[in-house]
Amino acid sequence: MLDTLIQGLLLGGLYALFALGLSLMFGVMRLTNTAQGDFIVLAAFAVIATVPLLAVSSWVAAVLLLPVAFGFGYALQRGVLNGTLGRDPLPSLVVTFGLSIVIQNALLEVFSADPRSLDSGGFNTRSVPLGGGLAIGALPLAIFGVALAATALLQALFDRTPLGRAFRAVSDDREIAELMGLDARHVYALATAIAFVVIGVGGALQAMRTTVAPSDGPLLLLFAFEAVIIGGMGSFWGTFAGALVLGLAQQIGFRLDPGWGIWFGHLVFLAVLVLRPHGLFPRTRG
């Protein structure tokens, strides 16, 4: 059982990386990115394509692509998504859904439907002994560490920096934030740019951990969405906690029956929606 709990927490770390970008974009501009999962897959395939192109390792390729992810996210927000923002959430949902379809089909066209993965340089076969005959995989532990660091950095950015203050201000009241001299379109684009860096990290690590295929996007979106909802809106630590709960639920389900893993996660998600619709750790906003 201890092994199941540890594996659940480590899995939750990966789900946190899937969910943090979604939480950030929704938190700043109330935009639900229904292409979140597909962008994660796109990032994974971008790293997969870069490795032979530049003749570098997967880790180097992933790091090199992070500034590209930042620029891509910024351009996407400025060029496309800013135009969908308003009181009505429907335009952003429709546009991001359209992007999801475009990404999946583009990846199918370029890479075919074959699942691919990234060589982690042996990292995925190494383990860290815990004693008592237990050991943790080095890659899952690294993923958990990256997720923890990403969550801490994002929360600190929001709570302690002028940029974070700007994010919270435009989220609270865009009109008045603009009266302070903020360019809301630029602030939104920075938020999406940062979200896409996290997406890039999540995509690269997912492809090191397992195979990825062009059609994987919707399932990853589901995990990201469930993690955000379980954790509650308004806090990155809440999202992180929600991801851990989801990972634990899935691993417990897998332990009971190999076919029950994802289903158990859905059950917990449903239970939270019914019993605590604002999530387990909501941060209330005025």
Partner 1 sequence: MSQDALIETRGLTAHYGDAQALFGIDFRLKAGEVVAIIGANGAGKSTFLKALTGLVKASRDAVRWCGRPVGSLSPAMIVRLGLAMVPEGRRLFPSLTVEENLRMGAFARRSGPWDLKRLFQLFPILEQKRRAPATALSGGQQQMVAIGRALLANPTVLLCDELSLGLAPIVIKEIYDAVPQLTREGMSLVIVEQDVGVAQRVSQRVVCFQEGRVSLEGASDALTREQISRAYFGV
Chain residues in the site for partner 1 (CB under 8 A):
162, 165-166, 168-169, 171-173, 175-184, 285-286
Considering the complex, what minimum distance in angstroms separates the CB of residue 278 from partner 1? 16
Give me the least distance between CB of 2 and partner 1, in Å please: 39
Is 17 in contact with 247 (CB distance < 8 Å)? Answer: no
Report the first-to-last Cα separation within the chain, whole angstroms: 42
Give Cα 11 distance to the centre of its chain: 13
Cα–Cα dist 222/192, whole Å: 19
Nearer to partner 1, 90 or 179 (CB): 179
In the complex, the smallest distance separating the C-beta of residue 181 from partner 1, rounded to whole angstroms, is 3
Nearest approach in angstroms of CB 57 to partner 1 is 42
Comparing CB distances to partner 1, the nearer of 27 and 253 is 27
Tokens of 154: 């994002």
Quick one: 120 or 155, whose CB is closer to partner 1?
155
Structure tokens at 194: 């940062």
- The nearest distance, CB 148 to partner 1, in angstroms, is 24
**CB-nearer residue toward partner 1: 37 or 234:** 234
The alpha-helical segments, DSSP class H, found in the chain are 2-29, 36-54, 58-79, 90-111, 138-160, 162-172, 174-179, 184-209, 217-231, 236-256, 261-275
Cβ pair 85, 220 in contact under 8 A: no
Give dist(CA 58, CA 148) in Å, integer.
21
Tell me the closest approach of the beta carbon of residue 136 to partner 1, in angstroms: 37
Q: State the amino acid at position 200 in one-letter form.
A: G
Closer Cβ to partner 1, 120 or 239, answer by number: 239
Nearer to partner 1, 180 or 256 (CB): 180
d(CA 162, CA 174): 16
